[in-house]
Chain A
Amino acid sequence: MTYAQPGAQLAVSAEPSAVYSFFRETAAIAEIELKKLLRDPTEVLSRAVQPVLWIVIFGNVFSRVRAIPTGNVSYVAFMTPGILAQSVLFVAIFYGIAVIWERDLGIVHKMLVSPAHRSALVYGKAASAGFRGAIQATIIYIVAFLMRIPIRWTPLSILGVLFGAMLGSAIFATFSFIIACLVKSRERFMGVGQLMTMPLFFASNAIYPIAIMPHWLRVVAFLNPLTYLVDALRSLMIGPGQSSHSLFTNFGVIGVIFVILAAIATKLYPTLVR
């Protein structure tokens, strides 16, 4: 009889390398999130409304009054990358709600009991947030095309923008994930989420240049990851003349922030079920 043999029935026979299993687990999480997104795209479509309103209404009005100095670039073109970054932020910042929902059910428990890397669970979620960022970018491009907004249409710039939107979405979704792990309830999360978005948005270069900000706000903008995202998107969509940092600096800052946030989220994830 083989009853009393621990490990004898272990299904995992050959031990794959940690790197391989990390990627397989990350891909598995991202895959199911993508499936769910495609199965019910109403959320994605409803998310398209807000950026359209910003560009069509706010952009047109401020273009007309010329209140914001944007050099030789039209204001609508100037704000388009900013509104993309904003919509990426607004969609991603509420990602934590889904995590709290999964905690109220037993899904988080099930994930954490599995031998999967906890970091893979976090990166998988971030990757799925990335898809949403790419969808937002696509919507902005459609609006820009229909409104004949003068932006660059080279394949390389479009690819760069898609990548930037995905990375930006991954950052804010991971940030949201961390907040979810800290507050643990939907009601508190909604409050904190609302509290975060507006300051992040207004203390950035999304809809006006940093140059016109008062000094104290420039300091906040300098520390705000959204600023670097907008800067990168703007130089890709309009031209390097419109940005204050190089693409390398912008993506470097965003990438480092993402890795740090993901590490914090990985540490905090198990505390969700305690």
Chain B
Amino acid sequence: MSTLNSDVTNAVEIASSGGESFAIETFGLTRRFGDLTAANHVSLRVPYGSIFGLLGPNGAGKSTIIKMLTTLLEPSEGTASVAGFDIVKAPSQVRRRIGYVPQALSADGALTGYENLDLSAKLYGIARAERKQRIADALQFMGLTDFGRKLVKTFSGGMIRRLEIAQAMLHRPTVLFLDEPTIGLDPVARRSVWERLVELRANFHMTVLITTHGMDEAEELCDRLAIMHLGKIAAVGNPVDLKASVGPEATLDDVFVHYSGGTIQEEGNYRDVRATRRTASRLG
């Protein structure tokens, strides 16, 4: 773990020493649904090549932020740039440069692993000549080479998640978004997902943004965190500094409680719970 973290730090320093530009930059990003302000003037900067975590309880606004950054949702106010392009003015340029793994199951169980990847390759306009090689590489990278011809509904939860990540990285995106990437997975499967994400960043220099409400995931994987509470950013920093800011003996759990002013599962409504449990049961 400690080696993993030092690699992370190096990468961030390299990335941020490069210049003023960021992989993701948001300016007062706001989204309202009727009376509810799901994201409230969020301003963030994510350096190229870093793994950034949006941490918060269900309903804190993490998914809303990720939906805006992936062009699924237009902001009510404010704007953001992803991979150098404005999400409102140039959404199709943004789409070419990002990969997205939604929280809910997005691989098609009635298709094989290969067919799922082939569909992504075609939708992302990867040339016919390159398609086969890309798919083979992605399967190998995700440790799924032997399962390319098998129907996805026979996969384990961890394999499905790895396949989804393979689909999202096939076109070598600049920024990879993952919404709760390890929700519903057992500890072994979680660890294998983390390892692939770290390798993805190392091998392809991808910037990775994840949402999570797992402290262990945030600590293990992310070199920077933003803690969200009620649609706002409550704190930003690297895990070490965040802990130090609360107290000498503080854990990330303490940091979380300190900044979000409550326990982990306090927020979130029936729909969140339903979606989360459904995903968990499908993957598990």
List A residues at the B interface (Cβ < 8 Å): 1-4, 6-7, 9-14, 16, 21, 24-25, 27-29, 32, 35-36, 39-40, 104-107, 109-116, 270, 273-274
Q: Does B219 make an interface contact (CB < 8 A)?
A: no
Known: A28-B119, A110-B102. 19 other contacts (CB 8 A): A1-B18, A3-B11, A6-B83, A6-B85, A9-B204, A10-B97, A11-B134, A12-B96, A12-B125, A12-B126, A12-B171, A25-B122, A25-B123, A28-B118, A36-B111, A109-B102, A113-B95, A114-B95, A115-B96
Contact status B98-A113, CB under 8 Å: yes
Would you list 26 pairs from A and B whose C-beta atoms are within 8 A, ordered by A residue?
A: A1-B18, A3-B11, A4-B49, A6-B21, A9-B173, A9-B174, A10-B97, A11-B134, A12-B125, A21-B125, A24-B125, A27-B122, A104-B278, A105-B105, A105-B282, A106-B102, A110-B106, A110-B167, A112-B72, A113-B71, A113-B95, A113-B98, A114-B95, A115-B96, A115-B124, A273-B67
Q: Which residue of chain B has the shortest Cβ distance to A14 in the bound complex?
A: B127
With contacts defined as CB atoms under 8 Å apart, how many contacts are there between chain A and chain B in the complex? Answer: 125
Contact status B108-A32, CB under 8 Å: yes
Partner of B124, one of A2, A11, A13: A11
Q: Does B48 make an interface contact (CB < 8 A)?
A: yes
For the residues of B in contact with A, the DSSP-based class is loop
Q: Which residue of chain A has the shortest Cβ distance to B206 in the bound complex?
A: A9
- Measured between beta carbons, the chain A residues less than 8 angstroms from B136 are none
- Measured between beta carbons, the chain B residues less than 8 angstroms from A21 are 125
Known: A110-B102, A112-B72, A113-B95. A7 touches B84 (CB 8 A): yes
Contact status A106-B106, CB under 8 Å: yes
Interface string of B128-146 (1 = CB under 8 A from A): 0010001000000000000
- Measured between beta carbons, the chain A residues less than 8 angstroms from B73 are 273-274
Contact status B18-A12, CB under 8 Å: no
Partner of B110, one of A7, A25, A36, A115: A36
The distance in angstroms between the C-alpha atoms of A273 and B127, with both chains bound, is 29
Q: Which residue of chain A has the shortest Cβ distance to B118 in the bound complex?
A: A28
List B residues at the A interface (Cβ < 8 Å): 11, 14-15, 18-19, 21, 23, 48-49, 67, 70-73, 83-85, 92, 95-98, 100, 102-106, 108, 110-111, 115, 118-120, 122-127, 130, 134, 167, 170-174, 204-205, 278, 282
Report the minimal beta-carbon distance from B208 to chain A, rounded to whole angstroms: 13
Partner of B123, one of A9, A10, A39, A115: A115
Most A CB atoms within 10 A — which of B115, B122, B130, B167? B122
Contact status B70-A113, CB under 8 Å: yes
- Measured between beta carbons, the chain B residues less than 8 angstroms from A35 are 111, 115
Known: A21-B125, A114-B124. A10 touches B172 (CB 8 A): yes
Contact status A13-B49, CB under 8 Å: no
Q: Which residue of chain B has the shortest Cβ distance to A2 in the bound complex?
A: B205
